[in-house]
Amino acid sequence: MENKNKIMSALQVIKIALEATKEKVLITKGLLIELKEKYQCLDNLEDIRKDPDVIHLSNEVEQLAEEIGFIVEN
C-alpha cells in the first residue's frame, strides 16, 4: 500500500505540472499566432522585419516553438 501511495503521489505531482504546462502552452500558442498575424500584415515595418536583432530573436522563438511541438500555420 505504501508503494501505491508513493506512485499516486508522484502521478498527482506530474498531473499538476502537466496541467500548468498545458495552460501556459495554450496561452503562448495564442500569443504566437496573434504576433504572426500582426507581423505579416505590417508591410510598412519592413525595415524592422529585416533588423538582425529581430531576425535573431524571431529565429530563437521559432526554434523553441518547434522543440516543444508548436506548429503555427502560415
* DSSP state letters, 17-44: HHHHHHHHHHHHHHHHHHHHHHHHH-GG
Residue 57 falls inside a structural domain: yes
Residue 28 falls inside a structural domain: yes
Residue 36 falls inside a structural domain: yes
Residue 73 falls inside a structural domain: no
**The residue to which cell 518547434 is assigned:** 66
Structural domain total, the chain:
1
Residue 2 pLDDT > 70: yes
Residue 72 falls inside a structural domain: no
Q: What pLDDT sits at residue 50?
A: 81
43-52 pLDDT per residue, tens: 667 777 788 8
Domain that holds residue 11: 2-67
Residue 35 falls inside a structural domain: yes
